[in-house]
Homo-oligomer: A and B are copies of this chain.
Amino acid sequence: MASIGISPWEFKLEHTDYNRIVKEFGLETFTDELLARMKSPHRLFRRKLVFAHRNFQAILEAQEKGEEYVVLSGMMPSGRFHFGHKLIAELLAWYQGQGARIFIPISDIEAYVVRGLKMEDIVKIAVDEYILNYIALGIDLTKPEKCLIYSQWKNEHVKNLAFKLSVKVTASTFRAMFDFVFEPSKEDVEKGRGSDTIGKIFYPLIDAADILSPQLPEFGGPKPVLVPVGVDQDVYIRLCHDLAPKFGMVKPSSIYTKMMCGLQGPGTKMSSSKPETAIFLKDPPEVADKKLRDAFTGGRPTAKEQKELGGQPEICVPYMFLLFHFEDDLLKKVFEECKAGTLLCGECKAIISERVCKFLREHQEKLEKARDILPTVIEEQPFLYKKQELKGI
């Protein structure tokens, strides 16, 4: 077996130019220097799947000085919980283990106002798909002081902060930031775009209030807050960087992770509403197995070529599952044998599928047990749905 002299994660995933993103958005690259300051970093950092950040130093400093900090990640209660969501949930669980306080806003005002979902569906999805999976993935939701999970509809502190923030931004600024349409132009009309609703226009302030709320006096005042985000959500971080100093708050920190692509390969997206694009954490193992076997791989056109040239894990969906989710040993073994041309796709898929299915079986047992913990969560969390709203869930 040929040594390839490169670690299993020194590859670009999909066809994304992360250097370009860092430049375009004015982010800071996540350097080895930062990594070296972290104690036993989570695999997302170790494998350089976190590629950029803003102000991550503030989080490291808080950890080094033993000072309070928060890690916050919202959830959109629509669709189903997949391996992309798992990643962030595990990161939150890991940070909770490190002593961070966790905030999990349920974006249920957004789901209603911007996406037009029905409240009963929103509550069902938030509980059945998200909360249960969070518990099963190891986040302790039973103690609000360790992890506050809340409905935006129920958290008056967040809504009131949104109204306070609303005094400091103009319509003109928001149009430029979010591409809103106020008075539709001829071009807008041709594109089928009408005037946006007041709800949609106000909404980013609720998102910003989520991010800034851990710094409210009610939650202990100014402190570093880390928000793992996709690049498409960086605009909310920039909005918070504008607003925080005007309210005596610290600018939030953010990290940007590479994204898993859809099962159809680089350039496609995992979608929580399209079962063919993603593996859901409630998929029966045989369904997941089928999905993985149908997934796009980095295999060569013929077995002969593959043996000569080796495979291409950097564009391979099954490999991506190992890279984002599973053990170093297995990852390394598969990577090296694939590149060496000794492991062909059929056999490799069987190995990876076995690992994924093992996880799913174990996880689905934990999901069952999570139901027993749910009543305690509902009872202890001050801004979550009430018992009577959960009937039939």
Distance between A367 CB and nearest chain B CB, rounded to angstroms: 31
A369 beta carbon closer than 8 Å to chain B: no
Q: Which residues of chain B have C-beta atoms less than 8 A from A39's C-beta?
A: none
Tell me how many chains of this kind the complex includes.
2
> Mask for A155-193, Cβ within 8 A of B = 1, else 0?
010011001101111111111000011111000000000
| Interface pair A171/B198, CB less than 8 Å apart | yes
In the complex, A295 has a CB within 8 A of chain B: no
Report the Cα distance A174→B109, complex, angstroms. Answer: 21
Residues of B within 8 A of A202 (CB): 163, 166, 198, 201-202
Q: Is A154 an interface residue (CB 8 A)?
A: yes
CA distance A172 to B185 in the complex (A): 12
The residues of B that contact A164 with a CB separation of less than 8 Å are: 112-113
**A205, CB-defined interface residue at 8 Å:** yes
A116 and B159: CB pair below 8 A?
no
- Chain A interface, >50% SS class: helix
Contact with B along A195-225 (1 / 0, CB 8 A): 1111101100100000000000000000000
Q: Does A153 contact B (CB under 8 A)?
A: yes
Q: Which residues of B have CB within 8 Å of A175?
A: 182-183
**Complex Cα gap A90–B180 (Å):** 46
Query: A166 vs B204: C-alpha distance in the bound complex, in angstroms?
Result: 13
Q: Is A194 an interface residue (CB 8 A)?
A: yes
Q: Knowing that A116-B167, A159-B159 touch, tell me 20 more A-B residue pairs with CB under 8 angstroms.
A: A112-B167, A113-B164, A113-B167, A153-B160, A154-B156, A156-B156, A163-B199, A166-B197, A166-B198, A167-B197, A167-B199, A168-B197, A170-B197, A170-B198, A171-B196, A172-B182, A172-B183, A182-B182, A182-B183, A198-B205
Residues of A in contact with B (beta carbons under 8 Å apart): 109, 112-113, 116, 153-154, 156, 159-160, 163-164, 166-175, 180-184, 194-199, 201-202, 205
